[in-house]
Amino acid sequence: MNGRFISLEGVDGSGKSTQASMLADALRDRGHDVVAVREPGGTALGEDIREIVLGPDAMSPWAEALLFAAARAQLVADVVRPALEAGRWVVADRFLDSSLAYQGTARGLGIDQVVQVNAPGIGDCMPDLTIILDLVPSSASDRRAGRASVDRIEGEGEALQEAVAEGYREVARIFPERIALISADGSLDEVHTRVLAAVIGGT
Ligand code: TYD
């Protein structure tokens, strides 16, 4: 595989989806063939799972973790692996580290346990670089307040989001060779410049 795989991560309201699409555009401008994906979703099955996992039904932490893992396994098989094998770049709006922060840490399932259930579906398709947009949860909360709709997980409130932010910092400490923790404070363009520097600097 000679493509490059970049994932963007952050709490809800960190601006990660906007930054993922700005990054994909900037890489295309540089002549790279880029596939942009988002999790959960990106395949027909994954979009169905997204409806279930973000829908209103109560679910146990492990049911939640396994649904995200199933959507991810399908995305890897159908999209990520073929793209990397074809030498394309993949920019993912969330990947494994979302499960490590939300389910592993915030839900208390344990980072190692969540890595283990995801590993068979991911195989060797791990991101070359993961960018975590780090934002104090109160700023993310202000950004979230402007949104029209919130999903089941976002709707759980600030304590969960603070646990997720701490989870991301923990994940960044565990995998320093893969993860860059970048401040999400500032304008879209300022954050984009930091993100692009982390990606281009690593090529
Ligand atoms: P996302 O699509 O980023 O939300 P939005 O469209 O509102 O930006 O993510 C949906 C939610 O799913 C978000 O609250 C984070 C959560 N999530 C997990 O808890 N674990 C995971 O593995 C993934 C991929 C997402």
Spacing, Cα 150 to ligand 1 middle (Å): 11
Summarize the confidence of residues 30-49 as an average pLDDT: 96
Task: Specify the pairing of strand 34-38 against strand 129-134.
Answer: unpaired
Do 13 and 135 touch, CB atoms closer than 8 A? yes
Indicate the CATH number of 4-200 among 3.40.50.300, 3.40.190.10, 3.10.20.30, 3.30.420.10: 3.40.50.300
Whole-angstrom CA distances from 53 to 8, 57, 65, 114 are 20, 8, 9, 16
List strands edge to edge, sheet with 5-10.
34-38, 89-93, 5-10, 129-134, 179-183
Q: Whose CA is nearest to atom 5 of ligand 1?
A: 12
Q: Is the pLDDT of residue 57 over 70?
A: yes
Give, for ligand 1, the residue of 102, 109, 150 to mutate: max count of ligand atoms closer than 8 Å to Cβ. Answer: 102
**12 in contact with ligand 1, CB cutoff 6 A:** yes
Of the pLDDT bands very low, low, confident and very high (cuts 50, 70, 90), residue 14 is confident
Which one of 153, 156, 160, 164 would you pick to mutate in the ligand 1 pocket, going by the greatest count of ligand atoms within 8 A of its CB?
A: 153
Copy the structure tokens of residue 141.
Answer: 């909360």
Say if ligand 1 is within 6 A of residue 9 CB. Answer: no
Asked if residue 153 has its Cβ within 6 Å of ligand 1, the reply is yes
State the first-to-last Cα distance of the chain, in angstroms, to the nearest integer: 15
Can you read off the two tokens belonging to residue 1? Answer: 């595989």
Whole-model pTM: value is 0.94
Q: Tokens in use for 82?
A: 């073929």
Please work out whether the CB of residue 97 comes within 6 Å of at least one atom of ligand 1. Answer: no
Query: What are the residue ranges spanned by the domains of the chain?
Result: 4-200
Report which ligand 1 atom has the smallest distance to the Cα of 38.
2
How far, in Å, from the CA of 39 to the mean position of ligand 1? Answer: 7
User: Is 17 touching ligand 1 by the criterion CB < 6 Å?
Assistant: yes
pLDDT of res. 156 = 84
Confidence of residue 203 (pLDDT cuts 50, 70, 90): low
| pLDDT tops 80 at residue 120 | yes
Task: Give residue 40 CA to ligand 1 midpoint distance, Å.
Answer: 7
pLDDT of 202 > 70? The answer is no
Q: What are phi and psi for residue 150, nearest 5 degrees?
A: -120, 145
Cis bond leading into 127, ω under 30°? Answer: no
- C-alpha of residue 3 to centroid of ligand 1, in Å: 25
